[in-house]
Each structure stands twice: as C-alpha cells, then as structure tokens.
A and B are shown apart, each in its own frame.
Chain A
Amino acid sequence: MDTLQLKGYALTKIDFIGKDVLSSDCDIIVFLLDNCEITIDENSVFFGTVNTADIMQSVILARARKFFDKINEAGFKDGFDSLAYTGMADFSHTTTQWKDLLSLGIVGVRDRIAEYEQNATDPAKRRFYSEILRVWNASLRFLRRAEDIAANAGKNKMSNSLKHLVKRRPLTLYEAMQTIIVYYNLQMFFDGTFLRTLGRIDSLLYPFYKDEDKEVADSLLVSFLREVDKLKAIANIPFSIGGTDEAGLSLTNDLSIGLIDAYGKAGTHNTKFHILYSENMPDIILKKAFSEIRAGNNSIVFMNDSVIIRALLKIGEKYSDAVDYHVVGCYECGGNGELTCSCNGRINIPKALEVALGGGKDALTGKQIGLKNDGIFPTFEDLYTEFKRQLKCFVDCAAKCTDIFEKEYRNIHSAPILSATYQSAMDKGGDLYCDYTAVYNNSSINAVGLGTAVDSLVAIKKAVYDDKVLSLDELRRVLSENWVNDEVLRLTIKNKYPKWGNGIAEADKIGKRIVDDLSEMINGRKNEKGGVYRLGMFSIDWRWYLGEKTAASADGRKNGDTLSQNSGATFGAEKNSATAHFRSVASIDAEKTPNATIVDIDFHSSAVEGKNGLDALISSLKGYFKSGGFAVHYNVLNTEMLKKAYLSPEKYPDLQVRLCGWNVLFSSLTKREQEEFIMRSKKG
C-alpha cells in the first residue's frame, strides 16, 4: 500500500492489487483515511473538510468503463448515443440508516461489526466483516487525527466532541450534528457512495434538541446548516422534516419549526429541503415554509406522504418500511432498508413517438434505434399503439443496459462504510452492492418529456385525424424540414392546440394513459439484484440533453429544443393558472410512480403577496395533494427576474405577474407595460 500516492494516484494500480473489489476498496479507503488532508476552516463550528482527490470516484469510473463496452457489444450503442434510452449503475442516491447511526455512534457501528465478526462461522461472511472492520478502525484513527488538528487550531469544543465520538455515541445536540457531518464525509469521500439525504432531521435530532437550551439549540441549527452548506456535494445536500408514523400521526415537532427558521437565517445555497406533508401537519409549518419560499429561500420541495407510502406499498414494500421512507436526491423516494438506485435508466418519451413515425429510425441521425414498421396508421389508436410499442422497446433497452451494470456490481463498487450502517447487510454478512444485501434492492427508470409527448400526440390527433389539416405524410415532411416552411401551422399548434398543464381533459387523458402504460412496463419488472424496477416521471436538467438529440416534434417544438420539465407542462404552455397545471399533473396516478412525479410552479411575488397570498399558496398545495399529487416545487420570482424576463422573454414564457385584479403572463404584456411593471415592482 505504501506505493499509493494520494495525489497523482495511478488508476492502473487497481489492477496490480490483484484482489476483489471489496478488499481493494478497503485498502484504498484505509489508505485515504490515514493519509488524506484534513482542513478545518477557522470560522467553522463543526469539523471539517477532507481532500481525497476524488480517488474513489475515479476508481469507480475506471471499473465501470469496460461495461460501457459491453453495452456497445450488446447493440445498444446507437440508442444510447441518441439518448433514446440509457441505463447504468447508480451509486449516487443513497441514504444511510440515520437512526441506527445516531444511536450507535461511529464507534458503535465499529463495535457492532466486531461483534458480528466474532460470532461469524461462515468464512465468506467472516471475511466481509473483517474487511470492513479494517475500514471502520481506520475511521476511528481518522477521527483522532481530526481531533488533533482541531485541538491545534484552538477548536476545543470541536476537538473534545471528536474525542468523545471515538469512545462513545453522541450525547448532545452538538455531538449528534458532528456525527452527521463526520459520517457524511466518510461515506461521500472515502466510500465514494453518494449520500443524498441527511434524513428526517427533525425526528433524528429531537431527542438531543429537547434537552438543550433553546437559544443555544437554535443557534446550533443555523451553524449546522451553514456547515452542511459548505460540504462538497453534487446537486445539493437534502434533508427532510415531517412525515408520519405507523399510526398515521404527524411526526412534526418543535424542531421541525426550528429547522425552517434556521434555514431562513442560514442563507444556504447548497441545501435542499424536503417537507414530508401529511393532512395532519400543523399549518404553522406550511406558513413558515411558504414565507421562506416567498423570501427567495425556495429550495423547498413538498412531498405528499400518503401517496408516496401507497406507491411504495404497490411495489411490494412492507408498510412499516414504506411509512419510514426517505427522499434522496431531488425527489426520489425509497422505503426504509432500501438501497435506493433512483437514476439507473432513462427513456425519452417524445423520441419514442419520433421513431414510431419514422419506421424505428432516429430522425436526426437516420440510425435504426427502435422497431421497424410500415408507417401506416389509419387511426389515432393505431399510431398510439405503435408509439407504445416503441416506448416498450426503449424501456426494455434501458433495463437491459442497467442489468449489464447491475449484475456486475461486485466488479465495480463496494460500500464498506455504508454497508456497515445497514442492519440487513450486517445480518446477511455481505456488501450492499457486491452482494445485494439491502432489504430492497430496486432499480429505477425515469421517463423524460411527458408534456412534450402529450402535446405532440394531442396535436397529431387533432391536426391529422380529427380536423384533417394535413396528412401523416405531410406531417412527416413538416417535421423533417424542422417546420421552416410551415411557421403559421407551427404557431397555431403551439399557441392554440390543447396542451398538458391546463387541466384540459383531452390532453390529461393522454398523459394519464402514458404513465399507466409506463407503469405496466416498468414497475415490478425484475432486475438483476433480486429487486424490481420503479418508474419515475422526472427530467431535471436531462430535458436539455435529451432535447438536443430529439428531432422536431408535432407540438411545434423544433430540432434540439428542450423537452418539457419534470412531470409538468411544456415550458410556457401552461396558460390557465397554477391550479389548472396542478389538475393536469394530478390526473396522473402518482401511486404508479414510486420514483416520483414532480411539478414546478412559478409565480411572481406580486401574484402571491400578503397574507392572502400565503393562504392561497397553502390551499393550492393542499388541493394538489388532496387530488393525488406526489411532489411540488414552488418558485416565487422577484424584480431581478422580471428584468431578465424583459431582456430575454423567451427564457421566461410562463412567468406570471399580478396586473390588477388578475395575473397575466409577463410575456403577454407590451414592452411599455413590462417596463412600467418593473418600475412599479421596484418601488414595491
């Protein structure tokens, strides 16, 4: 091991180690724990920052690379390259078992491994325990190193807490917070497995919080969030509040409120706040949360407890596990004990329609990425059936690509730190990834571009089959020419045809139908890990990348333009208010989307101002969730945003502003009115 250099570490050396993935990962992690650079910022209240030069990430990528070759060999290259579908490993969306971690402490987790090792009779299990024990022993050495560095920096409180945590579980609020931050570092930067939630932090920290002086505790919460904000993370560090217990009682407490207040004061940019809503959640939580959103602290996502629980039950999770679900990453949910792989596969829904119309060919590259057909669809139903057949083909390909990686996890990645925190992994005596030892070893496929696909299908139905404005062949020509000779038709379809996100039955029916069909194809499909696939209906920023590879579509979209965002409307198509947008999205049976359905709702601050605005926001949320919504993200925009919208209106087509007596789309105002509105909004 002494040949390993922290900086300039050569990836090829993995091959020289000549051990299996678990053992070589343990070697690397032990080396990093003993040698990495530890920095403590002079303003920090909590430990700290580590530099592991992202070695574990490089190792994972190097090992995974050869499986991309297998995807190419299996014939998926063209479809993968066209972003019609993708499928791969996912080590980036996990939670640890926070309750166990805080009750055992870092040292307790280590002691539990030692106990399992002593009692193990099976040689394979015994080897697993002794390998991860090496890592956890090194974790304690790492803590002692951190303790010394903190002491040398004159950080006595920090140093003392680290000293205690080497010996025992956390006993105070400060120690509990320190444990969370230490563990985050261990898993993210040494294990290389992304930790994508700090858990239900109000429930987790309450036993410590209730015994603390309130003023001290509230100040600590702000420091904690600021420290979390400084941690290196991919796409924010999420945490949750709320949820319900098995009896259905709300789990909110004083700390839930304290956390919202602290979030407002902390001014973080890198945290993400999941509020697990239930009907019995006190209104004060919603009032405070929306007040923060209106103040611009808008990385808050509301999650609908009852729908999420039923969605997890439907894929076979136990009630007690479903109730205790976690939210990782952006909005994805997994039951307690689930090793969440929420971003394995993706399918491009509008691309399935593109290949249905084009005999299975990618309209941009001409490559055969879907199934061949004769291109004759006498009725809309015939076309939909073919679209569904191509969609199924994409789903199969995404799953097969994912399977190629997932059946080889033992050759790609192990998680010695994370596995030790899972009771099921300890009981089964194997690694979470290499040996699939979680309670639920599920995988996920996310479908992107629902709004674009719905609008395109509605447009074809109306223009080709109902109104007979043009034939299907003429539409093929129009799309292949990227609308350049048919701008009036394009604008008519874009502006005047029924669209997803407006509460219009003919569009909403198609949206619901697509999700129902995807659910049949995906939910419950067996994966290579003894688990099942789960459907998600979100796009995040993939909509841009997938859009770039998607040809002009019948909704009036041009070659390469973005697809619709998440489960919501095509950008700018929702012209009938937020409630209509909610109604469309709630028409989806979200219990069939365990990996999330999410809608983004934007308002200008004037449209939701004052006490009445707060009441309206709360009742809109309750209405959406009562109608079966899964999750929602609200944005309240400000004057700065208006100025940008004025300069680049095409970027803000759905920005609503309060005129007087009604809300209008900012883009619908004349330039003079826009200028005046900006002027007035500045005066406030």
Chain B
Amino acid sequence: MNKGIVSGIKRMEIHDGDGLRTTVFLKGCPLKCIWCHNPESISYEPEIGRFEEKCISCGSCVRTCDTNAFFIKDGIVLFDKGKCTACMQCEKICPVFAIVGYGKEYSVDSLVEELLTDKPFFGDKGGITFSGGECLTQTDFVVKCAKRLKEKGVGVYIDTCGYVKRDVFEKIMPYVDKFLYDLKAIDGDLHKRLTGRDNAAILDNMKFLSDKKCAIEIRFPLVKGYNDGETEKIGEFIKRLNIGIPVKVLRYHDFARSRYNALQRRDTLPEGQTTAKDVVDAEEILRNMGIIVIKDN
C-alpha cells in the first residue's frame, strides 16, 4: 500500500526517542487502552474533532457541509458525527480551531519528502519516530517509508504496542534503529481488561525482537490504581530478555479528555492522578531488580 493515514506530525520532539526527532502519528490501533492519550489515533478512519468551547458560531461549517453534519439549533452550531464523511472541508473553512481534522492521506513520497525537511536538525542522534495509534498496522506504508528514510541517512524509531503479527516485525526490522515498545501489564486478564486485548502476542513479539538483538526501549505507562501492581512482574519479564534492555516509566495524565469530547468518543480516561512519586517508586522497584531505568527526561 502506497497510501497512509496520518493523524499528526510533531516536530522537534525530545520524548519519543533520542535527540531531536519528528514524530509521525499513524491512525488506527488494535488496542483500546482505557487511558489512551491519543484518542484521535484509535480509529483507522479519518475523522473530525469538534472543540465546542472554541466555536464562535459563525456558521461557516454549516454552510460548507454537504451532508448536514453541522447544523444550527436555537442559535447554536451542533455537530452530528454520524452524518460526517470526514471530507475535511469544514476544517479548512473554520476560522478558528474549533474543528480539527484527524487523518490526512499521504503517499510514501509525500510523507518522506515532508519528513526530510527537518533532516538538517536531526544531528547524530535524532531522526523520525513512527507512532500512533499502532503505526505497524499500516504495515506496507511504514515499511516503505522507513526504507526510504534509511536510504536517505535518517534514523528510524518505531513506537509500538507490539500487537501485530510476527512477520510485520520481520519486515520492518532491517530499517529500524530502535523500537520503543510499550509494556502495559503482564497479567493476561488484566491486560485484556485495560486494553481490550490479550497480551500473549505482545510478550512473544518482544521476546522475538530481544532474541534478534534489536535495540529496544521498553515503556511502561504507569496508571496508579490500574497497573501499578504489575511493576514487579514487568521487571521479572524484562529480566528474562536480553541483558541491557532499558525501561522508561511514563506518567499517566488525563490531558486528552477534551479530545475525547471533541471526537464524541466515550471517555474512558481514569479519574485518579499518577504522581511523580508513584513514578519514582516504580522506578525504584525496577532498579532494585537490576533493570536499567531511564528517566523520561
């Protein structure tokens, strides 16, 4: 497939791998993590997010929408997502940022060209990180882009949840400098409750990458009250992998709440807070088990 659906591109990133990076968020994810902070990347289809509090009720969207997804009732502009075909005309015409389109189609050529614009800034360590969603679900597209970027001398990282078939990793491996690999829970039932999927394939794939001596950075998104009890089990799992694979504990936040609302997606975000201390405690447990812990800056 030569086309990919991209939900966003962020430049000058420092938290998605080493050095200065451009992160590409590809749309669509097989997991449904309750704490997902990129809800716009869950669906595989392009979609509109409407930020009601930013709307100035100018009616531009109502006038431009061919399917009447936008309409006025009692002087207020309303949005019926069910009628929306994500043609993105309303995003273009909205004079403010009340309408945001997620899911732009790119060809391999156009995305690679776009990503190469920041090449002068990557330096020795930086490069491109493919993230999502689960970027590897758009397998052919990502493999082609990664191959082209490598040919151009740009380093490629893959941020993955690991829930794809083994052969996907086999295809992408030659073009990847590092995998940023999420590990959310070891307990299979818990994993299923929190993400909607069993984790057998995820753990199996990580073991495969480890055996193949791929560079991996494990990421443990810590959600207090949900998966903090998994810390030691995660440590035990990492100990069975290749020596020297580091882990980074990521702190849960609920900043994505406004985007759940904008996307008219059921808000599953946990209410409680995960504190800096919770992260430090988890890091301490892992460190005491002899595991390399790297700080999230």
Contacts and interface: CB of A to CB of B under 8 A. Distances in A.
A612 interface: yes
B38 A612 contact: no
Contacts of A610: 14, 295-297
B120 A612 contact: no
A342 to B, nearest CB: 29
Given A620-B20, A661-B16, A626 B120 contact: yes
B95 interface: yes
B10 A619 contact: no
Contacts of B276: 683-684
Among A495, A611, A623, find the residue whose CB has the most chain B CB atoms closer than 10 A. A623
A492 interface: yes
B14 A607 contact: yes
A508 B84 CA distance: 35
B189 to A, nearest CB: 27
Contacts of B275: 683
Interface stretch (B66-74, B121-129, B139-147, B237-245): B121-129
A134 B272 CA distance: 79
B285 to A, nearest CB: 21
Given A492-B93, A616-B20, A622-B123, A660 B117 contact: no
B255 A659 contact: yes
Contact of A616 (B12, B58, B93): B12
Contacts of A495: 95-97
Interface in B86-111: 92-97
A627 B121 CA distance: 9
B258 A612 contact: no
Given A610-B297, A613-B297, A616-B126, A488 B18 contact: no
Contact of A503 (B10, B94, B117, B124): B117
A662 B13 contact: yes
B19 A616 contact: yes
Interface size, B (range):
35 or more
B23 interface: yes
A496 B101 CA distance: 13
B27 interface: no
B258 A662 contact: no
Interface stretch (A206-214, A397-405, A572-580, A631-639): A572-580
A488 B96 CA distance: 9
A235 B38 CA distance: 46
Nearest to A623: B121
Contacts of B131: 661
A437 to B, nearest CB: 43
B13 A663 contact: yes
Interface in A666-683: 668-670, 673, 676-677, 680, 683
A583 B118 CA distance: 8
A576 B8 CA distance: 11
Contacts of A489: 95
Given A503-B117, A670-B258, A577 B19 contact: no
A610 B20 CA distance: 12
B184 interface: no
Contacts of B297: 609-613
Given A578-B12, A612-B19, A492 B38 contact: no
Interface residues of A, number: 47
Interface in A547-582: 576-580, 582
Interface in A478-495: 488-492, 495
Nearest to A621: B121
A624 interface: yes
B18 A615 contact: yes
A615 B120 contact: no
Q: Is the interface of A mostly helix, strand, loop or mixed?
A: helix
B11 interface: yes
A19 B10 CA distance: 67
A618 B97 CA distance: 32
Interface string B125-157: 110000100000000000000000000000000
A311 interface: no
A599 B20 CA distance: 19
A677 B253 CA distance: 10
A55 interface: no
B217 to A, nearest CB: 12
A248 to B, nearest CB: 21
A615 B120 CA distance: 14
B53 interface: yes
B212 interface: no
B76 interface: no
B126 A619 contact: yes
A658 interface: yes
A608 interface: yes
Contact of A576 (B11, B23, B37, B53): B11
Contact of B122 (A496, A607, A619, A663): A619
A618 B18 CA distance: 13
Contacts of B58: 488
Given A491-B56, A615-B20, A673 B12 contact: no
Interface string B234-276: 0000000000000000110101001000000000000000011
Interface of A: 488-492, 495-496, 503, 576-580, 582-583, 607-613, 615-616, 618-620, 622-624, 626-627, 658-663, 668-670, 673, 676-677, 680, 683-684
20 contacts: A488-B56, A496-B94, A496-B95, A503-B117, A579-B118, A608-B14, A610-B14, A612-B14, A612-B297, A616-B14, A619-B122, A623-B121, A627-B120, A660-B37, A661-B23, A662-B10, A669-B255, A676-B255, A677-B255, A683-B275
Interface of B: 8, 10-16, 18-20, 22-23, 37-38, 53, 56, 58, 60, 92-97, 117-118, 120-126, 131, 250-251, 253, 255, 258, 275-276, 295-297
